Structure 1
Amino acid sequence: MSWRRFRVRFSVLLFLSLGLLVDFGSAQEMVQFGQNKVQYHSFDWRYYQTKHFDIYYPQGGERIARFAAQHVEAMHDKVAAMTGHALTARVPIILHNSHAEFEQTNVIPIPLDEAIGGFTEEFKNRIVLPFEGNYGEFYHVLKHEMTHAVMNDYMYGDNAAAPMTAQMGERLPLWLSEGLAEYTSMGWELGAEFFMIDATTFGYVESPVEDFGGFLAYKGGQLFLHFVEKVYGKGTITRLLQVMNDPANKERSLDKAFQKVTHTSLEEAGEIWLRELRYLYWPELGQRQYGKSVARKLTNHGRDRSFYNLQPSLSPNGEEIAFFSDRESWEAIYILNVKKEKVIRTVIQGGKKEAHESFHSFKSGITWSPDGKSLAIVSKQEGRDVIHILDAKSGKIRRILKPDDLQAILSPSWSRDGRYIAFSGQSEAFTDIYVFDLQTGALKRLTSDIAHDDKPVFSPSGKWIAFESDRPKPVLDPDPAEPLAWFDSLLPYKDIYRISVSGDSLTRIAGGRWDEKMPAYGPNDSLLYFVSNRSGLDNIYLWRDTAGGAWIRPVTNLLTGCFTPSLSYDGKQLVFSLFEAGGWDVYLMKDPLQKVQANELPKTRFIRYSEDSTIGFFRPPTWANLSSYKPDTAKDTTKAKKDSVAAVKITVPRDTLVKTDSTKADTTAKASIKPKKEKKRKEKPSPFLNDTLAYKDSSGNFISKPYETKWSLDAVNASVGVDNYYGASGLTYLTLSDLMGDQSISFALSINGTLDNFSGFLQYDYLPFKPDLDVMLYRQSQQTAALLAHENGTIFVDNATDLIYGYGAGIRYPLSTFTRFELAAIARFAKRTEDGVDYSTGAPDTIFGTRTIEINSFLPTLSWVQDNSQWGWVGPVAGHRMLAVVQYLPPLFQHNYSYVKAETDLRAYWEFLRKYTFAARVSAGVSEAVQGYTNPQEYVVGGESYTFNTHINLDNLPKTLAQYYFSDLDFPLRGYDFYEFTGTRKFLANLEFRYPFIREFTVEWPLPFSITNVMGNIFVDYGGAWSSGDPLAQMGAGIGYGMRLNLGFFVLKYTWAQAFDGGRDGNAAGTNRKLGSREYWSLGAEF
């Protein structure tokens, strides 16, 4: 995937730099919510080099890196041929030994989930991907990401700022970006046919003009580009990209480029493509069956608003089914009662606790113990895969299996005698079959080679283990000197093998040109069910061993793909997951032996075309009948140069005049005109290693080099302006980081008027280990004005200049993805110079006078943060967020003030029906003066944060500079003004109901535009701040409603609120006085 969201990081930095409004002493600013990226391992990086690439790998990754080094140059040549562009700069490739290690990368700052199989970030054009045990899949993903890297180089070159500043018209649409990467890496593939058949027959595929997203962007884009190459001719994609990137095409318009290259519009080509999809796939409706035709549908993803119900596992007695589903806010394991045909309990949820940070639900299944009381699953815990044995009713962990030296684990399977669990494990870049003895704790490895062995399942007798593999023959004898030598012979598909529990007698029992995968035994060793796409669609087949020999026959003939069959011990019930109508559901088939079909299934057009290419895949259109068709004008010499895609591009030397007949002009026509001498341009040294001796030794082996920190610019920007009040002003910011993202430097500077009136900060972050460290220097200069009223009635304008500078350091220690401790300390030195004038006459202030105030401080803060929330369009929608802070101001650098402060912030979110959310928040705090000192700290409660139309209670503004600097703000208390309540204690409670308000609002005239996904909320707020007296008399309540719109980089909020007072201004406590209403326009996500 191309990591476009990475530029948000720099946009946020720019936003902060523009205002430099950070209050470096506020605990609320110093401590933030958010989940953690945990470095569970320290990495010792090394790298190989090839002509165009630097391939970085950690300890234990030599084999993977060497594999990549052996193939990347050939990949690059193929990608360059497809895109029409070869790299102009070296590209770093950063590899990780497993997905769990990949999730720890600092190349991008946000947490990565297991659905992300790799990414290419645009600023430094770095490719980052994990090895997930399968060399064929790794090869595909590497080539996919390389396509992104080549296209980044093609469109942006070495301009680091280009991806951030690029306009939307200059960017490739998602379907073209991801579809191109998929098509370049594998052409059109059988494995995606079931998805496109489903999208076509159920009507959710759209024209590329609509810029479809999600998984359809990958597979729909891939198939559309296949259509373009087949219908418009080989090389059309290359020419399309060349025209899009032509400097003459300043808009980089895809529509114009498509019209110029194909002579038809993208809109009409999309219509033809949709017609061809119906031509290809609608005939399948007449020769296939829907899921309900052959089995009972037990889940309904459309009704429960899930996307998937996966990996169903039937209990030994056939009474219950365990499966993964995302029907609620978190992925979870559910138990479905077969007789009642409904879910009866949730066993465990993933993604919200340390023990189950994630499941591999699309790759790894669930297995029952023989007595039906326990389940075994694979979970990610503390940065590694483990096998959890769970109580099938309560979900409690009974046992954790942590096999040593395994980077990844998949597909556990329990033997019917209850003693063993088989699984697929990854070690030293090989994925093999292992068996764990639950009695002795012994681990046995049954296979050991480059082939990808997965989905093991015990036979009923316990003698055999069947599994899927891409091995070309039963036994691969690895060359000790080059264990990767078998890669070129690995199959592009899977076969079914079985091996004895002792590790011998490895034999293939189902194979062919297509996938045979996901085995599941019936009631005895001679009945083995599995999934095959030999007909062009994934269906269930039966292998049966008889006295007369083994045979294979189909059990289902379904329109779209079915997967992961599982049977009861008696073989009378079979469950499987089926992709249909855009989602996955669980189906139950009774008496599967009675469903075996005598004849082979009909073949799809893809299979028939692969067997006989003369059949054709897409039909050519009748060009003359297309409304947008403009024939090639190459034969017309007056137009050939202008719009022929076949015209030869001629490179003209600099300063050479060219006539219309392409002959050189006569430079001797006038003797008085001297020919212009061409300046010699210094050619940049090539970044590429053209001599193999630069990266290989005399024996032809790649030379491994230790990684040295490589700093480079992430982003930089500068601007200059003129203001009537301040005069000239300027802003600049930049960020630097090392290649791995483990170290970064951020710098911002703003100057208003004079050089001594500048603000800025310099921060260094160090992130390679579990504790994250940062240090910072800052300076803030600002001018403010306030109205001061003297008792004699004279009003003065108090002009103040604040100078704040200091330094700080912090350490964040994550315990897991969700929980961390933070310790920070800020030294701050503040100086205010005040100079007032009479508001009426403009004369100098003779009463308050000119004065200088200095406040210095040192603020250490300790905090605990927990956050497992999940986000929607405008804020969290599920989970909880908790924060506890203790802060101490010692009498250091000054001798007047000292206090201790403690506060907490608890937030919870309950999502239902996948679109509504109840949100609740309670915040409380107290600060006390240390004996003998004054406490300047106050809480400020009231209003909404980051508002445009600020409402301020002028009566409660800070009376002293210390109060100004040490005050903490807490929001929202809507219906009230900013600074409505102040004091050394605070309490604030919020309750909200959040709902989708507008799905889409479109205006056609005079300017067409659309607004989508506007969220609404209804809320009640209650809280206040006080120092003494009755707290209830110093609180208020507000009710109201609002609308929220996500505009990309920020959320725009409109809020209307009505305030109710609980007894202030002399009212009796408990007697509510209706106050005025307030409207707020503000920025920022929901709490």
Structure 2
Amino acid sequence: YKSVNEAAKRTFGFSMESLEDQWRYYLQKKYSNIIDNNVLPESKYQQLTEHNPEESNANWDPVFSPDGTQILYYSDKSYTLGIYKRSTLGLYKPKKIVTSGYTEKYEGFHYLKSSLSYFPDSERFAFVAKTSKGDDIVISQVKNGKEIERITLDFNSIFEIDVSPDGKKIILVGLKDAQSDLYIYNLETKTISRITNDYFDDRYPRWSPDGGQIVFSSQRFITESYAQEDEHLIFSNLYYNIFTYDLGTNTVIAITNASYDHQYPTWTKDQQTIVYSAYRDSVSNIFVYDFKEEAIAQLTNIFSGTFSPCVSEDNTEMVFSSFYKMGWDLYLYSNPLDSLDYIEYQKPQTIKDNPFDEVFHLNEFKRFYRLREKLVTKKSRLTSEYFFMKDSLESKPDFREDKEPEVGKYKLKFTPDFLFGGLAYTTGYGVTAQVYVALSDILGNHHINIMADANKSLSESDIVLNYYYIKKRIDYGAGIFNLVDDYYYFNYWIDEHGYIYDGLKKDRSTGVNTLVSYPLDKFNRIDLYNNLFYNKIEWYYWYDNDWHVLDQYTKDAWVYAPSLFYTHDTALWGITGPIKGSRLMAGVQKSFGSHNDYLNFYGDFRKYVALNRKYQLAGMLNVGFSTGLDKQEFIMGGYYNLRGYLNKEYLGNNIAVGSLEFRYPFIEELKIGFPLPIWIRSIRGAIFADVGKVWDTYDEFKNTHDNPIRVGYGIGTRMNLGYFILKFDWAWKSTKGFESSPSFYFSLDAEF
């Protein structure tokens, strides 16, 4: 055989990985009491989904359609959570019908606190979507996920929902004023009514088949007696049990009463049994309660836990989710209610109204300080207590007092969040010393960022100090800055004698700025910048091993330059950079000042296409246009926009640069034993091509002979070293290809 895995398949009928799993399970079952009577989920039940690092880690909350032909469920197969449908008859492959994580109407779903519910016609379903303004109930088509109706209610959050058997009402868990209760929304009258009103947490409501009762899970009391076992944990005796609510009599009945959690209750079609999951023996498995027999039976015995069961209307199939091998998968159990061993259980109990504050007496639990340890005095190893009775007069009472600490007003105090510094080297700028410090208060409402790099002198260094106030939805910022940019020109100056000199343009700006940032939603925002600064531009020429200033070309001015930017960002990040989604920044800047008049337009669009979790395509398009009496110059060439060329090799009042990268795993794991033990994982590679052009006038743009489109291409590697991402790139110019010497770049930042 060519491999051990192939030999295992031919010999045992399954892969080497499966053989290892069975061997591990055998050992766990032999030496663990919990696993002793339990099984692997795949060994007894039909596995419907298979999570793996390449596709998905979570598949849960399945629900059968009323006609039994389809299953809806949540999955993160495409990086973000989505709603999928699959055929129970195998007529088509699983298909995503609702996507989240990219728009303000579908920011996401409540992880493990959501539910899907069909309408009786099996053509529509309802779910809860997180939006930029809160949670909405959405009704969509099963066929393609197209939204039919969106319901916005006055809640802080909406969790599990369920559509009534007649399709006219929706039961939901609504969170409002730090209290979760059950509510019923009438789809015809557009009104909502409250079912429960207490401090207890209610979850997983489901309609009975006749529409007269609601089964749910709750932490409410079953009896009035309440014994606090541990004074450190006020609510340590609260567990989720199964209850029903009778809509006709407004009574709550306890179905279970045990000191472990019961969750995900659901009715069977005949309304004679309730199926639910419970953490008996510390592992969640699925049980069934029979009203007629007043008994329970265990349906599953999986040692890794089972959750969110759903039984088909004909009781022939049950689908559930199970956690195994660091991920969630769906499993199918045929004829789950046949040949069960029922155990007699308690009778359902009608619950009295036990007010929360009357049972707990929170004033008795009020404690603002840590529980002190028992006073212990030092004793010698051998005392008279070994031979004589202890004299009570010699006991030492504990006279220490419990003092409640003083609660004062909040005082603003900054502490460091992030500190980074060191020496850096880039091909164009040489060696510089850099430091970045981020400070914030304990509530995270105030932030201070300090960025600086030392270069020759203080006036020649870049220094930025910004303060941000982010307590409200609108963020505010203010800061001061000193920014210095040097532009080198080779063979630039020609004097009256015909001598050629290298040139240097030094652009220094010192001033203040303010920022107002308004988030439209999770993915979009608008930023308004105001900059007031003193700008000085000096020209130098290289002569006699030194730079000499050309005073006649020196310009300085005070400039006020406001700018407005729109930002859109739905990018999902991997270990070295974005892997899926898109980013867009577009803005305009206008200057007002003497001898400094310009109007700039900016655009930066980036798109990421994930072929799978390891291979991606990334594209970037950057454009800029400047008009006015004092047009600004855009630079092209070097690491940031046209690799393979010198830094700032080309300048122009207009620019258009595009990049395309193919990103792939280069080295999965690298171990070095000598001279230093080094273990590096996930070294990624990239193949890229950059194309760009700068121009001043339209004639220059059309002139492809003297001002052609520049192209550079190359390869690179990326490594995430924890504190920073180390990147190496080798790039060539298109004019000479690989025959020329490559330009080499390294940096400590993420991929674009």
**Which TM-score tier does this pair reach, normalised by the shorter chain?**
0.7 to 0.9
State the alpha-carbon separation in 2 of the partners of residues 344 and 732 from structure 1.
51
| Aligned-residue offset at 1:764 | 2.3
Given the alignment, which residue of 808, 826, 834 partners 2:531? 826
1:788-817 CA deviation, whole Å, 9 max, x = no partner?
754436576879987531111121111001
1:807 pairs with 2:557: no
Which residue of structure 2 lines up, in the alignment, with residue 998 of structure 1?
Answer: 667
1:450 pairs with 2:199: yes
State the alpha-carbon separation in 2 of the partners of residues 592 and 389 from structure 1.
31
Q: Tell me if structure 2 keeps the 8 A contact 1:313–1:323.
A: yes
1:339 pairs with 2:13: no
Q: Measured at CA, do residues 1010 and 738 of structure 1 come closer, stay the same or move farther in structure 2, by a change above 3 Å?
A: closer
State the alpha-carbon separation in 1 of the partners of residues 52 and 403 from structure 2.
58
Aligned length: 661
Higher relative contact order (CA 8 A, sep 6+): 1
| Aligned-residue offset at 1:461 | 0.6
Q: Measured at CA, do residues 875 and 432 of structure 1 come closer, stay the same or move farther in structure 2, by a change above 3 Å?
A: same
1:904 pairs with 2:600: no
Q: Measured at CA, do residues 1024 and 1075 of structure 1 come closer, stay the same or move farther in structure 2, by a change above 3 Å?
A: farther
| Aligned-residue offset at 1:1036 | 1.9
State the alpha-carbon separation in 1 of the partners of residues 303 and 422 from structure 2.
63
1:384 pairs with 2:127: no
Which residue of structure 2 lines up, in the alignment, with residue 461 of structure 1?
Answer: 210
1:703-757 CA deviation, whole Å, 9 max, x = no partner?
xx8x655233436989999xxxxxxx99988665444222334456777787877
For 1:766, give the aligned amino acid: Y
2:291 is paired with a residue whose SS is strand
| Aligned-residue offset at 1:383 | 4.5
Q: Measured at CA, do residues 292 and 719 of structure 1 come closer, stay the same or move farther in structure 2, by a change above 3 Å?
A: closer
Which residue of structure 2 lines up, in the alignment, with residue 232 of structure 1?
Answer: none
Q: Tell me if structure 2 keeps the 8 A contact 1:298–1:342.
A: no
Given the alignment, which residue of 735, 746, 749 partners 1:1081? 746
Instruction: Map 1:345-494; keep pairs closer than 5 Å.
Output: 345-404=95-154, 406-473=155-222, 488=234, 491-494=237-240
Q: Measured at CA, do residues 859 and 1061 of structure 1 come closer, stay the same or move farther in structure 2, by a change above 3 Å?
A: farther
Which residue of structure 2 lines up, in the alignment, with residue 839 of structure 1?
Answer: 544
1:510 pairs with 2:239: no
1:711 is paired with a residue whose SS is coil
Q: CA RMSD in A?
A: 3.9
Q: Tell me if structure 1 keeps the 8 A contact 2:116–2:126.
A: yes
State the alpha-carbon separation in 1 of the partners of residues 473 and 678 from structure 2.
47
| Aligned-residue offset at 1:819 | 0.4
| Aligned-residue offset at 1:869 | 0.4
State the alpha-carbon separation in 1 of the partners of residues 746 and 647 from structure 2.
14
> Which ranges of structure 2 fall in alignment gaps of 5 or more residues?
1-17, 345-375, 379-400, 424-431
Q: Measured at CA, do residues 533 and 765 of structure 1 come closer, stay the same or move farther in structure 2, by a change above 3 Å?
A: closer
Q: Tell me if structure 1 keeps the 8 A contact 2:283–2:303.
A: yes
State the alpha-carbon separation in 2 of the partners of residues 531 and 354 from structure 1.
34
State the alpha-carbon separation in 2 of the partners of residues 1031 and 1073 from structure 1.
27
For 1:773, give the aligned amino acid: Y
State the alpha-carbon separation in 1 of the partners of residues 144 and 445 from structure 2.
41
1:751-775 CA deviation, whole Å, 9 max, x = no partner?
7787877764432222222221212
State the alpha-carbon separation in 2 of the partners of residues 492 and 858 from structure 1.
62
Given the alignment, which residue of 404, 426, 442 partners 1:692? 404
Instruction: Map 1:115-130; keep pairs closer than 5 Å.
Output: none
Q: Tell me if structure 2 keeps the 8 A contact 1:470–1:490.
A: no
Which residue of structure 1 lines up, in the alignment, with residue 390 of structure 2?
Answer: none
| Aligned-residue offset at 1:979 | 2.6
| Aligned-residue offset at 1:1057 | 2.4
Which residue of structure 2 lines up, in the alignment, with residue 862 of structure 1?
Answer: 564
Given the alignment, which residue of 288, 300, 303 partners 1:556? 300
Q: Measured at CA, do residues 749 and 451 of structure 1 come closer, stay the same or move farther in structure 2, by a change above 3 Å?
A: same
Which residue of structure 2 lines up, in the alignment, with residue 5 of structure 1?
Answer: none
Q: Measured at CA, do residues 455 and 297 of structure 1 come closer, stay the same or move farther in structure 2, by a change above 3 Å?
A: same
Which residue of structure 1 lines up, in the alignment, with residue 268 of structure 2?
Answer: 522
Q: Tell me if structure 2 keeps the 8 A contact 1:1017–1:1042.
A: yes
Q: Measured at CA, do residues 716 and 329 of structure 1 come closer, stay the same or move farther in structure 2, by a change above 3 Å?
A: closer
Q: Measured at CA, do residues 332 and 924 of structure 1 come closer, stay the same or move farther in structure 2, by a change above 3 Å?
A: same
Given the alignment, which residue of 631, 634, 650 partners 1:939? 634
1:927 pairs with 2:673: no
Instruction: Map 1:212-231; keep pairs closer than 5 Å.
Output: none
1:884-934 CA deviation, whole Å, 9 max, x = no partner?
1222233x2x13x423222322211111332111112222332223xxx24
| Aligned-residue offset at 1:316 | 0.9
Q: Tell me if structure 1 keeps the 8 A contact 2:493–2:541.
A: no
Q: Tell me if structure 2 keeps the 8 A contact 1:942–1:979.
A: yes
Q: Measured at CA, do residues 368 and 782 of structure 1 come closer, stay the same or move farther in structure 2, by a change above 3 Å?
A: closer
Which residue of structure 1 lines up, in the alignment, with residue 3 of structure 2?
Answer: none
Q: Tell me if structure 1 keeps the 8 A contact 2:523–2:569.
A: yes
State the alpha-carbon separation in 2 of the partners of residues 203 and 908 from structure 1.
45
| Aligned-residue offset at 1:310 | 0.6
Q: Measured at CA, do residues 754 and 325 of structure 1 come closer, stay the same or move farther in structure 2, by a change above 3 Å?
A: closer
Q: Tell me if structure 1 keeps the 8 A contact 2:538–2:550.
A: no
| Higher mean C-alpha deviation, range 1004-1013 or range 293-302 | 293-302
Given the alignment, which residue of 1012, 1016, 1028 partners 2:681? 1012
| Aligned-residue offset at 1:312 | 0.6
State the alpha-carbon separation in 2 of the partners of residues 473 and 774 from structure 1.
54
**Superposition TM-score, scaled by structure 1 size:** 0.56
State the alpha-carbon separation in 2 of the partners of residues 717 and 1000 from structure 1.
29
Q: Tell me if structure 2 keeps the 8 A contact 1:814–1:821.
A: yes
Q: Measured at CA, do residues 899 and 204 of structure 1 come closer, stay the same or move farther in structure 2, by a change above 3 Å?
A: farther
| Aligned-residue offset at 1:456 | 0.7
Q: Measured at CA, do residues 577 and 1042 of structure 1 come closer, stay the same or move farther in structure 2, by a change above 3 Å?
A: same
For 1:1082, give the aligned amino acid: S
> Which ranges of structure 1 fall in alignment gaps of 5 or more residues?
1-197, 206-273, 478-484, 601-647, 651-688, 696-704, 722-728, 946-970, 1063-1071
| Aligned-residue offset at 1:1008 | 0.9
Greater helix content: 1
Given the alignment, which residue of 765, 773, 777 partners 2:468? 765
1:571-625 CA deviation, whole Å, 9 max, x = no partner?
332211112233211112232222534579xxxxxxxxxxxxxxxxxxxxxxxxx
State the alpha-carbon separation in 1 of the partners of residues 462 and 732 from structure 2.
39
| Aligned-residue offset at 1:570 | 2.9
2:80 is paired with a residue whose SS is coil
Which residue of structure 2 lines up, in the alignment, with residue 3 of structure 1?
Answer: none
Instruction: Map 1:957-996; keep pairs closer than 5 Å.
Output: 971=641, 973-996=642-665
Q: Tell me if structure 2 keeps the 8 A contact 1:285–1:559.
A: yes
State the alpha-carbon separation in 1 of the partners of residues 665 and 675 from structure 2.
27
Given the alignment, which residue of 814, 817, 830 partners 2:522? 817
For 1:940, give the aligned amino acid: I
1:112-143 CA deviation, whole Å, 9 max, x = no partner?
xxxxxxxxxxxxxxxxxxxxxxxxxxxxxxxx
2:414 is paired with a residue whose SS is strand
| Aligned-residue offset at 1:302 | 3.1
Given the alignment, which residue of 1030, 1033, 1037 partners 2:711? 1037
Q: Measured at CA, do residues 1042 and 379 of structure 1 come closer, stay the same or move farther in structure 2, by a change above 3 Å?
A: same
Given the alignment, which residue of 462, 477, 501 partners 1:774? 477
For 1:809, give the aligned amino acid: T
1:975 is paired with a residue whose SS is coil
State the alpha-carbon separation in 2 of the partners of residues 568 and 806 from structure 1.
69
